[in-house]
Amino acid sequence: MQRRYARLRQIRSLDPEKDFLAIYRLSAVYEFPWDFTRALELALYRTYAVPSIGRLLSQTAELTERTQKRYDDTALLLDAIVEHGFDSDTGRAAVRRINHMHRSYDISNDDMRYVLCTFVVTPKRWIDAYGWRRFSRHEAEASAVYYRTLGRHLGIRDIPGCYEEFAECLDSYEDAHFGWDEGARAVSDATIDLMASWYPRPLAPTLRAVTVALLDPALLKAFRYEEPHPLSKALVRRAVWLRGRAVRLLPPRTAPHYARQNPEIKGYPDGYRVDELGTHPVPGVRGCPVRHMDLPAARRQD
């Protein structure tokens, strides 16, 4: 039987620059699949607090009227690249779909880069706080290379290099741009309602309170949520921490767990095709502004 830390030793035997996909996959689908799901949910949630992002998401109505579908599509598109790699037909189809959706909107490079930073930084911070072990240096470095690669495929410019640069970019961008927006608050409320809907209805108020208790002060301020009671906040965070301690005592996972296997993915009971996921926005319709004509070459190519 494989020992609890054997996979970490395997990760440390690999090169984060050359073997970044293998390391990222080992971390995301073997070591911390539940934590990565929660952390990437929080990563996307953080982006709503940047008014230019939250407002656009509100205008498209995708996250307020079709919240489950948008959640599913985002998770499945990102998951396809993790599972199949950048050079596979499936991975390339996922990148094309992401690019097609993004290029239809007036999204700044700075906002795109910030979203990329959330994918690098939030999982490490979540796992360090609540995971069954801390995120290793090898994993942090491989994650930075993985998302640098994804960013290049998405045509994002001026991408940070190492993990520390991603963290600095994220923190400085949030300090400068987090703020109130009515549309962003509507997107935030819809997302919390979606997460509560995954469980029995009587638990919904408790689950909403739990979600808010996991938000940091900057997010609470941006969305104008009431500060949770200190005892409630401490209890929620302690419970999530204890879950990590319990996982440490369990045998290591022997089979991969991809996001497509998560019970929260509910919109495709009969299966799906990656090249059909997501939206097909029409410029000028439902909050979709006229697309840029000066997109970088990497974002124009399929």
* pLDDT by residue, tens only, the chain of 302 residues: 578 999 999 999 999 999 999 999 999 999 999 999 999 999 999 999 999 999 999 988 888 888 999 999 999 999 999 999 999 999 999 999 999 988 878 899 999 999 999 999 999 999 999 999 999 999 999 999 999 999 999 999 999 999 999 999 999 999 999 999 999 999 999 999 999 899 898 888 898 999 999 999 999 999 999 999 999 999 999 999 999 999 999 999 999 999 999 999 998 998 999 999 988 766 544 433 333 334 443 333 33
Q: Is residue 283 part of a domain?
A: no
First to last CA, the chain: 45
Report how many domains make up the chain.
1
CA dihedral 34, 40, 41, 42 (to 10 degrees): 110
State the residue for tokens 């996921």.
277
Residue 94 contacts residue 77 (beta carbons within 8 Å): yes
Residue 140 contacts residue 162 (beta carbons within 8 Å): no
Q: Is residue 156 part of a domain?
A: yes
Residue 78 contacts residue 37 (beta carbons within 8 Å): no
Q: Is residue 33 part of a domain?
A: yes
Q: Is residue 280 part of a domain?
A: no
Query: What DSSP designation does 294 have?
Result: S
Q: Which domain holds residue 192?
A: 15-261
Q: Is residue 235 part of a domain?
A: yes
Q: Is residue 298 part of a domain?
A: no
Residue 203: φ, ψ to 5°: -85, -5
Q: Is residue 6 part of a domain?
A: no
H or E element that contains 66: none
Q: How many CB atoms lie within 10 A of CB 123?
A: 27
pLDDT of the residue at 204: 87
Q: What is the pTM of this model?
A: 0.90
Q: Is residue 4 part of a domain?
A: no
Q: Which two tokens stand for residue 198?
A: 């995954």
